Chain A
């Protein structure tokens, strides 16, 4: 009976309903009640419970989409919506949901446009859930584009003074991507005489120009979401200028959708003609990595450092996905789980420090010395971010790197250099924040993070540690 239960539709529906409830909650910036906030938190937790249930229902070792649901939408043209999940999509969804919880807890005391932020973030979550569980090209496209609407609005609300400029970029780049993808979907529909399932797509042979065009359009569209040159520009403008951690967390999920697209669409057998394209992509990717890493190393803005870390790792995952090996794909997903949690946590900590800094009008050098709880968490996350064996990032990166080094040593070395530089940038920032001598110049009474927040973050650290021991550790509990 349980198998007929529409789990997949529900995880799209719950955030959507949550959004409606949040919208209806009596909250305003002036009268600060927590109704909207509590509804949002409750919605995400409910979805996590649903995800856990789905983990217990699927067979982890089995390839292909499971728990599939199919809905007939239109008769003419004949369009059916198909939903389904596998371990890859479920892991990503779980990471996104935990990152959401971290983000929400981090913005708990925010007063500025809190309700709007919660409403739009829940709408985004609903769309992202739809994207990760879509089982056919049509629903994939639909959610792929729909998630941009709440993000567009969020950027307008929470961007800084230059927001008009980078919203333009966001719009232009994504519109080009959307048009290309739409053209590909229409052509594919015409070519295959119906809507195609995602699984069938990766099995298609690339033999004629039409197929090349379709793949080219989809790939370019997916690339427009990943911070690879020249597409990195809109993402860097958005990410490095955002001062709201929740919007930042949402914006870093966008490249994840591009990566996921690559996982789903990458043909299982790439024709030799495409070797040159892959090589060009690899060259551009590693140059972007090094470029961003060096700027991140020099730039003194903490936000930019986090952005450069995000970029370098996303490109590394992209290069890993292109190798197309099953074990690598699985490890990329395990790695992404920790990666999202780490980035979300670092962003929240960074935001907390910014807030404190502006409140007391102090320099942030050595600031962590005054916040023992935050300092402990920041240390853990920084060490996890640079790849110490305290999260699944360690082993997964080992396997990804081994593959990349073997496939192209020059590329692998440049990539490694970029990783080292960006990790050093993070470490340097951490030591600057821990410099006791500089902090002792402006000793004042400050407030450390709350015990509740600390407990949540300790739980996140525990999740990371467990993911190092066994990436799917929570399956034993279920």
Chain B
């Protein structure tokens, strides 16, 4: 059944991209959304029944090379897949209500993305993993409808994919097998282990937007909110997590592997904190929230990779919920992006506020009940930070004197029912799976208190001054670093090689000299054709030389 669904996903994705409907766009989007919903239901149903999906096909076989396509899904892999499917349904659902020109194409790409996610998750060999990773990058590329954002994304992901490609080819060279599980044997048979680990961390960092490579996602803040959210949670960052999960054995090749990932996760978390609190733009704040999630998730995956399903599920759930709130506020406030131009919304948005708050409580409870067994300290810190942030952001949106444009304020209404519906559904799902015990109660109380203090007393009010600071709002320090440390030296080196070495040294000096020598040689030959004593001796000497050479060669 699941196999048929995978093929159906692929087929609908391809057809949806080829036959773009110019009429009845909403109907088509609705139809696609329903289709995706049914597929997700089948997936969840198969998971609940505890059925494994197994399918294997010999893809290529020649000489001593054999590459298979494996579609193997067990309970753990289903657990990882379900949140991605649910978020995809949400994204396609929201796309129905958007005035997005490429809505049908966007949803069709969601179908293809899911198909490639399944291929990635069920990969047992490196080639399948690489193919799926590349294809997920391509789908992301197609979903970004802005030139600059697309360009940065393409370069980053190309670097990530080619690095991963090199690591896998090196592993294959030493292991002589494409099997992913054999990566652990590299410790015994492989070489350049530290290099492999460094490259692997580099590839994963770029793919998942970890510290230093997260700016690719900030460039996406020009995209529509729904697209942005989808790319943040169902795009390459999650693919990066899955690749880490699949190839986690590589980190053990070096003593510094796991520590480096933890440090990067911490750095990403801090960077997310910086952006979530200091950026004025709601979409950039949303990216900051996603960064917080990536930091936390990477840390937990490095601690306990076996719980990947819970980490991904609970992390995505809570983080996506916060981004949904931002999306909802953005919609309600007539697409106002800057939080500094809000305030005092509670008078008109009481229902929204209450719903946001309840869903947040549900989110943190689901998060705590799933992830606290892995690392209660990390989870506690994460929840505290989110509570603090939410109180801080809510204060700026809902309390105080409004800074909003008169028209924006006048049009405020609790009318964003599509987001409300999804939030309510999320709350219901959360209630179903929350396991509130005695331990969870203090966490709830503490997080509530932190939220309340942050919301009412607004202790972090000084941070809001940075909204006016252009340096913080506009500067992309990592792009500058990339520009000055990587790109500029390459261009300078290229110019030097081109002008000094290629043009002046080789063309004007060496080649010209050779040309002149050749001409001189021809003139000399011409002169030698005239009989004289000197030329006769020269020919005689040449003959002797050739004879000697022949004798030398014959030995």
In angstroms, Cα B219 to Cα A243, docked, is: 38
Please tell me if the beta carbons of A409 and B195 are within 8 angstroms of each other in the complex.
yes
Interface stretch among B59-67, B179-187, B328-336, B448-456?
B59-67
A403 to B64, CA, bound (A): 14
Q: In the complex where A420-B162, A437-B147 touch, is A409 in contact with B191 (Cβ < 8 A)? A: yes
* A interface majority secondary structure: helix
Known contacts A327-B63, A398-B130, A424-B158; decide if A209 and B166 are in contact (CB<8 Å): no
Cα of A398 to Cα of B169 in the assembled complex, Å: 6
Q: B151, A169: Cβ atoms under 8 Å?
A: no
Check B553–A406 contact: CB distance below 8 A: no
Q: Which of B131, B134, B169, B507 makes the CB contact (< 8 A) with A399?
A: B169
Q: Are A387 and B165 in contact (CB under 8 A)?
A: yes
Q: Is B52 an interface residue (CB 8 A)?
A: no
The answer, yes or no, to whether A10 is at the interface (CB within 8 Å) is no
Chain B's closest residue to A214 (CB) is B553
Known: A388-B138, A389-B135, A421-B490. A405 touches B170 (CB 8 A): yes
In the complex, chain B residues whose CB is within 8 Å of the CB of A395 = 60, 67, 127
The total of chain A residues at the interface (CB under 8 A) is: 51
Tell me whether A405 and B166 are in contact in the complex, defined as CB-CB below 8 angstroms, given that A208-B555, A386-B158 are known contacts. Answer: yes
Q: Closest approach, in angstroms, between the C-beta of A447 and any C-beta of chain B?
A: 23
Residues of B within 8 A of A208 (CB): 555
Are A209 and B553 in contact, CB atoms less than 8 angstroms apart?
yes
Q: What B residues does A427 contact at CB under 8 A?
A: 154-155, 158
Contact A470 B518 (CB under 8 A): no
Give the interface segment out of B236-244, B307-315, B356-364, B492-500. Answer: B492-500
Residues of chain A within 8 A (CB-CB) of B405 are none
The answer on a CB contact under 8 Å between B131 and A389 is: yes
Q: For chain B, which range describes its interface: under 10, 10 to 19, 20 to 34, or 35 or more residues?
A: 35 or more
**Count of A-B residue pairs with CB < 8 Å:** 119
A294 partner residues in chain B, CB cutoff 8 A = 490, 493-494, 497-498
A213: B residues at CB distance < 8 A: 553
* A402 and B169 contact, Cβ closer than 8 Å, known pairs A295-B497, A431-B154: yes
Within the complex, the shortest CB–CB distance from B175 to chain A, in Å, comes to 10
Q: Is the interface of B mostly helix, strand, loop or mixed?
A: helix
Residues of A within 8 A of B59 (CB): 469
- Bound-state CA distance A264–B60 (Å) is 25
Taken together as a complex, chains A and B put the C-alpha atoms of A43 and B172 apart, in Å, by 44
> How far apart are A329's CB and chain B's nearest CB, in angstroms?
10
Residues of B whose CB lies within 8 Å of any CB of A are 59-60, 62-65, 67, 127, 130-131, 134-135, 138, 147, 150-151, 154-155, 158-159, 161-162, 165-166, 168-170, 172-174, 191-192, 195, 490-491, 493-495, 497-498, 501-502, 506-507, 511, 514-515, 518, 552-555
Sample of 17 A–B contacts (CB below 8 Å) = A61-B62, A209-B553, A233-B506, A291-B501, A298-B497, A299-B498, A326-B63, A388-B161, A389-B135, A394-B130, A394-B134, A398-B165, A398-B168, A401-B166, A419-B162, A423-B158, A469-B59
Q: List residues of A whose CB falls within 8 A of some B CB.
A: 61, 168-169, 172, 187, 208-210, 213, 233, 291, 294-295, 297-299, 326-327, 330, 383, 386-389, 394-395, 397-399, 401-403, 405-406, 409, 412, 416, 419-421, 423-424, 427, 431, 434-437, 469-471
